[in-house]
């Protein structure tokens, strides 16, 4: 039976963990330690996680949360497609940073036996979408997963790792909770996401105020992603990119939708104030530089899909050096060898 274990760095103020009782039960387990200074020498503190939690809670409590869910729904269904492509079934799965649980609704009980959904925002978990797979909702931070080693057959992540402060550590945690021969299927935003908005704001702020500050959070580059996954211990990596372009009436509607998705900026170095003049200027620049023929403006979301496996003896390995039995120089003689086999 699954027993979530206490991580090394858990603070003593947390109470005990609840054992999941059975199918369809919902137990809220206290999350791990919030990142304090000096937990690890390479710890970065770019994002205010407490504020991100408030933003996601606010977004989940909106009167019509499904109005802003289109992007996560689309990517969630793509992740589910990739899970179906793997010819295996997964008795126990984990959804990291699930939001309202966009992946589980596309999966069926044969492929995934039971799924644990974790997020930092309790209201998102409370309003999670319907699915016929038994779920357990756990309140946990992506960097402090409260699970034992070698627990899950499948870990999925839908567009939430771009708000994680220490991404190498989060990927290592995911690798830790996976069973050998387990797989991680994730999607996160890439470097070109919202480049139109970023450029418009930069140009407008430079022209209006003489300088600019970052309003779009930094994203991981695709090369770095491969290195990070390798460093976390994953095997047989696959990273591919996808671009989704969504058309909006204007820049203000785009910003409102981003807020409704819970994707507002929460980096510590954000400028809290955006002048109305600058907003007006940026909207004008956006429209002029990027608009489509029908007057709408596009916003690009670049998604990186990644698949990584945890090592297991049964997985194919590259052959040892010097174990070749045939040389490349024999390629010319291949045509002599082949016709024997083809006469069938």
Partner 1 sequence: MSTNGAVWGRVRSRLRAFPDHLAACGAEASAYGKCVQASTAPGGRLSKDLCVREFEALRSCFAAAAKKALMGST
Residues that bind partner 1 (CB under 8 A): 203-204, 206-210, 249-250, 252-253, 277, 279-281, 283-289
**How many whole angstroms separate alpha carbon 29 and alpha carbon 173?**
18
Q: Over the chain, what HEC string results?
A: CCCCCCCCCCCCCCCCCCCCCCCCCCCCCCCCCCCCCCCCCCCCCCECHHHHHHHHHHHHCCCCHHHHCHHHHHHHHHHHHHHHHCCCCEEEEEEECCCCCCCHHHCCCCCEEEEEEEECCHHHHHCCCCCCCCEEEEECCCCCCCCCCCCEEEEEEECCHHHCCCHHHHHHHHHHHEEEEEEEEEEEEECCCCHHHHHHHHHHHHHHHCCCCCCCCCCECHHHHHHHHHHHCCEEEEEEEEEEEEEECCHHHHHHHHHHCCCCCCECCCCCCCCHHHHHHHHHHHHHHHCCCCCCEEEEEEEEEEEEECCCCCCCCCCCCCCCCCCHHHHHHHHHHHHHHHCC
Give the residue with the Cβ less far from partner 1, 164 or 283: 283
Give the residue with the Cβ less far from partner 1, 55 or 151: 55
Distance in Å, CB of 277 to partner 1, minimum: 7
Distance in Å, CB of 209 to partner 1, minimum: 7
Distance in Å, CB of 292 to partner 1, minimum: 15
Give the residue with the Cβ less far from partner 1, 117 or 264: 264
Distance in Å, CB of 122 to partner 1, minimum: 21
The answer to whether residues 125 and 57 touch, using CB atoms and an 8 Å cutoff, is no
Give the residue with the Cβ less far from partner 1, 22 or 211: 211
Distance in Å, CB of 267 to partner 1, minimum: 22
Distance in Å, CB of 196 to partner 1, minimum: 12
Give the residue with the Cβ less far from partner 1, 224 or 288: 288
Give the residue with the Cβ less far from partner 1, 92 or 284: 284
The answer to whether residues 76 and 138 touch, using CB atoms and an 8 Å cutoff, is no
φ, ψ for residue 95, nearest 5 deg: -115, 110
Distance in Å, CB of 243 to partner 1, minimum: 22
Give the residue with the Cβ less far from partner 1, 206 or 236: 206
Distance in Å, CB of 169 to partner 1, minimum: 35
Give the residue with the Cβ less far from partner 1, 94 or 197: 197
């Amino acid at each position: 039976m699954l027993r979530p274990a206490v991580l090394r760095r858990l603070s003593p103020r947390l109470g005990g963990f609840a054992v999941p009782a059975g199918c369809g039960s919902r137990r809220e387990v206290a999350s791990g330690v919030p990142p304090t200074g000096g937990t690890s020498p390479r710890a970065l503190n770019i994002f205010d996680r407490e504020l991100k939690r408030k933003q996601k809670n606010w977004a989940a409590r909106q009167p019509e949360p499904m109005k802003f869910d289109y992007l996560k729904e689309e990517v969630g269904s793509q992740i589910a497609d990739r899970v179906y492509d793997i010819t295996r079934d997964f008795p126990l799965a984990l959804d990291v940073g699930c939001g309202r649980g966009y992946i589980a609704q596309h999966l069926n009980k044969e492929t995934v036996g039971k799924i644990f959904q974790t997020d930092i925002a309790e209201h998102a978990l409370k309003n999670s979408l319907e699915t016929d797979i038994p779920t357990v909702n756990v309140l946990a931070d992506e960097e402090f997963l409260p699970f034992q080693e070698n627990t899950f057959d499948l870990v999925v992540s839908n567009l939430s790792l771009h708000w994680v402060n220490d991404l190498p550590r989060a990927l290592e945690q995911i690798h830790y909770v996976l069973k050998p021969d387990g797989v991680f299927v994730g999607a996160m935003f890439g470097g070109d996401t919202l480049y139109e908005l970023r450029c418009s704001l930069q140009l407008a702020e430079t022209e209006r105020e003489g300088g600019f500050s970052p309003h779009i959070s930094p994203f991981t580059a695709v090369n770095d992603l491969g290195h990070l996954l390798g460093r976390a211990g994953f095997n047989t990596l696959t990273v591919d990119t996808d671009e989704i372009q969504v058309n909006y009436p204007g820049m203000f509607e785009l910003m409102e939708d981003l807020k409704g998705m819970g994707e507002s900026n929460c980096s510590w170095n954000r400028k809290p104030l955006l002048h109305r003049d600058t907003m007006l200027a940026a909207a004008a620049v956006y429209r002029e530089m990027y608009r489509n023929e029908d007057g709408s403006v596009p916003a690009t979301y670049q998604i990186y899909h990644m698949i990584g496996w945890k090592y297991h003896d049964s997985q194919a390995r590259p052959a040892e050096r010097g174990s070749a039995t045939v040389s490349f120089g024999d390629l010319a003689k291949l045509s002599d060898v082949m016709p024997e086999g083809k006469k069938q």
